[in-house]
A and B are shown apart, each in its own frame.
Chain A
Amino acid sequence: MIKPLALQTWKFLKSIQLTIVLLALLMALVVLCTLAQVEMGTAGAVNAYMRSFIVWRQFAALPFPIPVFPGAALVGLLLTINLTGKTLELKRTWAKSGLWLIHAGLVVLFAGEFVAGMLQVDTNMSIEVGQTVNYVQSYKNMELAVIDVTDPTWDEVYSIPDTELSRGGAIPIPGTPLTMNVKKYFANAELSNLPAGQTSMATAGVGPSVLVVEQPTVTADGEMNQASAFVEPTAAGRSYGVWLASAAIGAPQSFTHEGHTYLLTMRLRRLYLPYAFTLKQFRHDVYPGTDIPKNFSSLVQVVNPSQKESREVLIYMNQPLRYEGKTFYQASFGKNDTLSVLSVVENPGWLLPYVSCVLVSIGLLVHFAIVLRRSLKRRQDQKEA
């Protein structure tokens, strides 16, 4: 009973009907994702359609979102199974070697996109000329940083990521006597002056004079969520008041406990590196007499104490630096050409598309050569006949 069913399923999974249906679904998803980018931004649309197993849709009449379409992750997974099934089914003969290579290459390509979707980490690094930076920061994710600035030569940074803040409750900060009570967390909020007669949850810092209004989160490119939270640091049974920490508040706020001064600040999530970059020079060349950019380049000093390494690297267009599993690309600039922004990508599967490209290209060439030879032979036979 089970065996025939499994056989049936396997037969269905590797059928060419399914191939065509899946390819058509993928086309539809690509079109939808492209159109959705106008409203949702690239990252938002890709997450909704491409990096999801199911496309959900919230209708006004319903209290919960309902699935409306299979997501590209699901389609891609089925297509990979379908491809693998088809490939295994191919006769292992030289005549089919081209097809083998093509299908194997496609499986690698899909695997590459899966790895990228699951494991790729996109961050960036902004450095001003002369500045030294030893961290990369997230584009969207926030963190509440608690920084012990007591030692003037050394900042000790403790941070709570936004995912933990959104759960709320008491969060002990390891390495310090502090515990952070998250009273309320807003993924995105708008801050304004508190009108007279209203009171704030905050009791310390700038918070008591600020009105916080929750906003829907944004995903479009170039838009930022202003994450905000009411937090109450406590230590040894003593409360230091309720503070408002927000990405919209520029200046950090501080309190002192047992001789240690702690700064509280909501900022883009940082990831500290065991090495540091110093920007020595940034160039923004234009074509003579125009504003058309000709080249952007950053001359960076890479200092890595663990490797006893200190060297200069020029990062420019189409010429990134691959270093310790991360790749640094010249992405943007600002502050009258004194600030350089490098986008930083960590993708363990970055080689897979290259492998796939080689496999499929060779496969297509081999296959077409075989087909051409066969058809030439047929013509020859016809002539002789």
Chain B
Amino acid sequence: MNFLTKYLSWIAGGLALALALTFALPSGKVRGFDASGFGTLPILEGGRVKPLDSVARNSLLVIHSRQGFRHAGHNVGPDEWLLDVLFRPQVADQQPIFVIDDLDVLGLIGAKQTTARNYFSFSELGPHLDEIQKQAATAQPIAPQKRTRFQSSVINLFERVFLYYKLRNTLQLAGSPGLAWELQSLGSKDANLRHQDLVQLAHFRILPPTAGAPPEAWQSVGQALTTANMGGPLHPGLTPLAKMNAAYLSNDPAGFNQALADMNGLVNTLKPDALGHSGREVVFNRSQPFFVGMIIFLASFMAACISWVYKPEVLRPTAYALLFSGAIVHTLGLAARIILQGRPPVTNLYSSAVFVGWGVVILGLLVEKMYRKGFGTAMASIFGFASLIVAQHLGEAGDTMEMMRAVLDSNFWLATHVVTITIGYSGTFLAGAIAIAYGVRKHIVAVQDIETDRVLADMAYGIICFALFFSFVGTVLGGIWADQSWGRFWGWDPKENGALLIVLWNAIILHARWAGYVRERGTMVMAIFGNVITALSWFGVNMLGVGLHSYGFMDQAFWALTGFCASQLLLMAVTYAPPRFWLPRNDSHA
């Protein structure tokens, strides 16, 4: 017992890291087939070379909102699912993976919503495809922010169905006898038409550029078949692919694994780096560092909360150790993304959420080291957790390592402007979080503790100064980038305005404090409002759909954002109210 209390923090931290490690381990074979080996095959999609595993995970996230599902008594992983879609669509078509939540869309396909019936298979949607397509085509021309809920949902469903449809017609035409048959019937009557369909529908290009071709000239199966059909050379990758296809259909794991090895050998000769790069990305995909980090942060937060009422001398270091482990996992994930992408950490809305969370966690670790009250740990862990949840939702839109649009394609400015401004967000959020802790604590604790209040106020003040510095420098750097690429330092673009609002608000807090208009409590209330302003300028401006920064458009987060802002306003009121204001006054004349 004594040993446990002494080393609990080390044990907890170690266990958390061990948990992270188990995620990184490769899974076994599926029915003898080397599915994860198949997932490591590099392909070209969305402008970059990535493993099939990434295609599988991102497609499943888009279609199903999760990276795996349970069907017919066993768990189907992303690689196994993709194998079925590509090579055995007749099996994949029966799996209920399409999530439909919108009642009107459910009405459209004639299903009554019951608790268990939100998932549909492709074959169940089959009879309604024409109607879905028709409705989506009507809604498509309407600007995204003007669509009704039904229109957005039906377009969303159509896009998911179309993605699935493209996948099942990428390596072979669904319903045809397979790729081997396609190779045998080269030159036959309808071959050309089928090849054109394959070219049109291909979701990715799996055949690496042949010797002598330009380095980016990856080919889809349809393109290679077209070349061969017109008398050109047969791409050497088609044969192993056809063998894999046939072996998978006839349930011959040994043959499949052999053909996969042949394909790997071919990729290695044609594109020597591609296999190593995609292998690293697969390890990153499997590890899911931000998901694991989320779990560890939650554990840390719970330990920190319990520590205020039970055994603080043991649980507070434990919470800190967990936060530290979570920070290690989070940092490794961030570093892996930087290496895989060859870009600074923030490239889109998803990665900004990951980075803001990371910034808060690191700041929290430092603050805790300085003040040792448990608040730094608790607030950093809950904010780390929340930001990773936000990131997870943002990541459901597809590939989070998408290519950068031309105007953003500047590693220098991404590394300076975007990173500094995002650290400014982190600082403002952490100050707000500490202010919330201050406000809530005031009402909960039995004895008012002026010392702790003062420490919290000091923390918040220091962090606001820090946040003002980074948001100001980040905003000005953004202006300079704008001057470099658009010709004006400042254009009052919504995102620029959002950044400016954060700067102005932090400046107002500090000036009000310096002039003595607000004291401890007032500063804290203002710091919480900083959360509202930061959230609005981070996500809110994207919902306006105007300006040069509106590439990060999103529509579904509106209510989440409104809820967050309302909760912050409530917390401001709570913080402003004097402690125990609900108790009858002692001096009342009863």
Binding site for B on A (CB under 8 A): 16-17, 19-20, 23-24, 26-27, 30-31, 33-35, 37-38, 41-42, 45-46, 50, 109, 112-113, 116, 120, 122, 221, 285-290, 292-296, 317-320, 327, 329, 331, 343-345, 347, 350, 353-354, 356-357, 360-361, 364, 368
How long is the Cα–Cα vector from A213 to B367 in the complex, in angstroms? 67
Q: A122-B487, A293-B406 are in contact. List 18 more A-B contacts (CB 8 A).
A: A17-B517, A20-B511, A23-B511, A24-B508, A30-B497, A34-B494, A34-B541, A109-B476, A288-B44, A292-B46, A296-B406, A317-B409, A329-B486, A345-B488, A347-B488, A350-B483, A350-B489, A357-B480
Give residues of chain B (489-548) contacting chain A, Cβ–Cβ below 8 Å: 489-494, 497-498, 500-501, 504-505, 507-508, 511-512, 514-515, 517, 541, 544-547
Closest Cβ of chain A to B46, distance in Å, is 6
Q: In the bound complex, do residue A23 and residue B504 qualify as a contact, i.e. CB atoms below 8 Å apart?
A: yes
How long is the Cα–Cα vector from A113 to B490 in the complex, in angstroms? 8
Q: In the bound complex, do residue B504 and residue A30 qualify as a contact, i.e. CB atoms below 8 Å apart?
A: yes
B585 CB-CB contact with A under 8 Å: no
Closest Cβ of chain A to B493, distance in Å, is 7
How long is the Cα–Cα vector from A92 to B10 in the complex, in angstroms? 53
How long is the Cα–Cα vector from A357 to B489 in the complex, in angstroms? 11
How long is the Cα–Cα vector from A60 to B142 in the complex, in angstroms? 31
Give residues of chain B (27-45) contacting chain A, Cβ–Cβ below 8 Å: 44-45
Which of A318, A327, A343, A360 makes the CB contact (< 8 A) with B472? Answer: A360
B117 CB-CB contact with A under 8 Å: no
How long is the Cα–Cα vector from A50 to B490 in the complex, in angstroms? 11
Which of B473, B487, B501, B512 makes the CB contact (< 8 A) with A361? Answer: B473
Q: In the bound complex, do residue B406 and residue A295 qualify as a contact, i.e. CB atoms below 8 Å apart?
A: yes
Q: Say which size band chain B's interface belongs to.
A: 35 or more
Residues of chain A within 8 A of B497, CB atoms compared: 30-31, 33-34
How long is the Cα–Cα vector from A42 to B541 in the complex, in angstroms? 13
How long is the Cα–Cα vector from A347 to B486 in the complex, in angstroms? 13
Closest Cβ of chain A to B464, distance in Å, is 13
Which of B405, B409, B492, B511 makes the CB contact (< 8 A) with A46? Answer: B492
Chain A at the B interface: mostly helix, strand, loop or mixed? Answer: helix
B454 CB-CB contact with A under 8 Å: no
Chain B's closest residue to A297 (CB) is B406
Instruction: Given A42-B547, A295-B406, A318-B485, answer yes or no on A23-B413 (Cβ-Cβ < 8 Å).
Output: no
Q: In the bound complex, do residue A19 and residue B47 qualify as a contact, i.e. CB atoms below 8 Å apart?
A: no
How long is the Cα–Cα vector from A352 to B102 in the complex, in angstroms? 53
B479 CB-CB contact with A under 8 Å: yes
Residues of chain A within 8 A of B407, CB atoms compared: 317-318
Residues of chain A within 8 A of B402, CB atoms compared: 292
Instruction: Given A16-B515, A27-B508, answer yes or no on A45-B409 (Cβ-Cβ < 8 Å).
Output: no
How long is the Cα–Cα vector from A285 to B514 in the complex, in angstroms? 53
Q: In the bound complex, do residue B47 and residue A288 qualify as a contact, i.e. CB atoms below 8 Å apart?
A: yes
Residues of chain B within 8 A of A288, CB atoms compared: 44, 47, 216-218
B403 CB-CB contact with A under 8 Å: yes
Give residues of chain B (215-255) contacting chain A, Cβ–Cβ below 8 Å: 216-218
Residues of chain B within 8 A of A331, CB atoms compared: 486
How long is the Cα–Cα vector from A120 to B512 in the complex, in angstroms? 35
B270 CB-CB contact with A under 8 Å: no
Residues of chain A within 8 A of B405, CB atoms compared: 292-293
How long is the Cα–Cα vector from A30 to B495 in the complex, in angstroms? 11
B340 CB-CB contact with A under 8 Å: no
Chain B's closest residue to A51 (CB) is B492
Q: In the bound complex, do residue B546 and residue A23 qualify as a contact, i.e. CB atoms below 8 Å apart?
A: no
Closest Cβ of chain A to B60, distance in Å, is 21
Interface centre among B406, B407, B409, B484 (most CB of A within 10 A): B406
Can you spell out 11 A-B residue pairs with CB atoms less than 8 angstroms apart? A27-B501, A30-B492, A37-B492, A37-B494, A42-B492, A116-B489, A288-B216, A296-B406, A320-B487, A353-B479, A364-B472
B205 CB-CB contact with A under 8 Å: yes
Q: In the bound complex, do residue A320 and residue B489 qualify as a contact, i.e. CB atoms below 8 Å apart?
A: no
Q: In the bound complex, do residue A38 and residue B501 qualify as a contact, i.e. CB atoms below 8 Å apart?
A: no
How long is the Cα–Cα vector from A319 to B486 in the complex, in angstroms? 10
How long is the Cα–Cα vector from A20 to B510 in the complex, in angstroms? 10
How long is the Cα–Cα vector from A122 to B435 in the complex, in angstroms? 45
Which of A37, A285, A295, A360 makes the CB contact (< 8 A) with B476? Answer: A360
Which of B218, B485, B505, B512 makes the CB contact (< 8 A) with A289? Answer: B218
Chain A's closest residue to B545 (CB) is A38
Which of A37, A296, A318 makes the CB contact (< 8 A) with B547? Answer: A37
Give residues of chain B (133-152) contacting chain A, Cβ–Cβ below 8 Å: none
How long is the Cα–Cα vector from A50 to B486 in the complex, in angstroms? 19
Q: In the bound complex, do residue A343 and residue B487 qualify as a contact, i.e. CB atoms below 8 Å apart?
A: yes
Closest Cβ of chain A to B174, distance in Å, is 21
How long is the Cα–Cα vector from A292 to B546 in the complex, in angstroms? 20
Residues of chain B within 8 A of A290, CB atoms compared: 46-47, 403
B410 CB-CB contact with A under 8 Å: yes
Instruction: Given A16-B511, A294-B403, answer yes or no on A27-B476 (Cβ-Cβ < 8 Å).
Output: no
Closest Cβ of chain A to B537, distance in Å, is 9
Closest Cβ of chain A to B275, distance in Å, is 19
Chain B's closest residue to A317 (CB) is B406
Instruction: Given A23-B511, A46-B492, A287-B47, answer yes or no on A318-B403 (Cβ-Cβ < 8 Å).
Output: no
Q: In the bound complex, do residue B501 and residue A289 qualify as a contact, i.e. CB atoms below 8 Å apart?
A: no
B109 CB-CB contact with A under 8 Å: no
Residues of chain A within 8 A of B413, CB atoms compared: 318
How long is the Cα–Cα vector from A310 to B473 in the complex, in angstroms? 40
Closest A-B pairs by Cβ, 3 of them = A287-B47, A345-B487, A288-B216
Residues of chain A within 8 A of B477, CB atoms compared: 357
B465 CB-CB contact with A under 8 Å: yes
Q: Mark B447-466, 1 if CB is under 8 A from A, else 0.
A: 00000000000000000010
How long is the Cα–Cα vector from A26 to B409 in the complex, in angstroms? 32
Closest Cβ of chain B to A345, distance in Å, is 4
Q: In the bound complex, do residue B515 and residue A20 qualify as a contact, i.e. CB atoms below 8 Å apart?
A: yes
B48 CB-CB contact with A under 8 Å: yes
Instruction: Given A23-B508, A23-B511, answer yes or no on A37-B469 (Cβ-Cβ < 8 Å).
Output: no
Q: In the bound complex, do residue A42 and residue B403 qualify as a contact, i.e. CB atoms below 8 Å apart?
A: no
Chain A's closest residue to B512 (CB) is A20
Closest Cβ of chain A to B557, distance in Å, is 18
Closest Cβ of chain B to A185, distance in Å, is 30
Q: In the bound complex, do residue B546 and residue A37 qualify as a contact, i.e. CB atoms below 8 Å apart?
A: yes
Residues of chain A within 8 A of B517, CB atoms compared: 17, 20
Residues of chain B within 8 A of A35, CB atoms compared: 544
Q: In the bound complex, do residue B480 and residue A353 qualify as a contact, i.e. CB atoms below 8 Å apart?
A: yes
Q: In the bound complex, do residue A42 and residue B491 qualify as a contact, i.e. CB atoms below 8 Å apart?
A: yes
Residues of chain B within 8 A of A318, CB atoms compared: 407, 409-410, 413, 481, 484-485
Which of B48, B490, B546 makes the CB contact (< 8 A) with A116? Answer: B490
Q: In the bound complex, do residue B488 and residue A120 qualify as a contact, i.e. CB atoms below 8 Å apart?
A: yes
Q: In the bound complex, do residue B544 and residue A19 qualify as a contact, i.e. CB atoms below 8 Å apart?
A: no
Instruction: Given A292-B405, A294-B403, A317-B409, answer yes or no on A42-B493 (Cβ-Cβ < 8 Å).
Output: yes
Residues of chain A within 8 A of B406, CB atoms compared: 285, 293-296, 317
Instruction: Given A27-B501, A27-B505, A30-B500, answer yes or no on A353-B476 (Cβ-Cβ < 8 Å).
Output: yes
Closest Cβ of chain B to A62, distance in Å, is 28
Residues of chain A within 8 A of B476, CB atoms compared: 109, 353, 356-357, 360-361
Residues of chain A within 8 A of B481, CB atoms compared: 318
How long is the Cα–Cα vector from A319 to B413 in the complex, in angstroms? 13
Chain B's closest residue to A16 (CB) is B515
Q: In the bound complex, do residue A320 and residue B485 qualify as a contact, i.e. CB atoms below 8 Å apart?
A: yes
Residues of chain A within 8 A of B492, CB atoms compared: 30, 33-34, 37, 42, 45-46, 50
Q: In the bound complex, do residue B515 and residue A320 qualify as a contact, i.e. CB atoms below 8 Å apart?
A: no
Residues of chain A within 8 A of B494, CB atoms compared: 34, 37
Give residues of chain B (188-204) contacting chain A, Cβ–Cβ below 8 Å: 204
Chain B's closest residue to A322 (CB) is B487
Q: In the bound complex, do residue B515 and residue A329 qualify as a contact, i.e. CB atoms below 8 Å apart?
A: no
Q: Mark B146-178, 1 if CB is under 8 A from A, else 0.
A: 000000000000000000000000000000000
How long is the Cα–Cα vector from A328 to B504 in the complex, in angstroms? 32
Chain A's closest residue to B507 (CB) is A23
Closest Cβ of chain A to B515, distance in Å, is 4
Residues of chain A within 8 A of B545, CB atoms compared: 38
How long is the Cα–Cα vector from A33 to B547 in the complex, in angstroms? 12
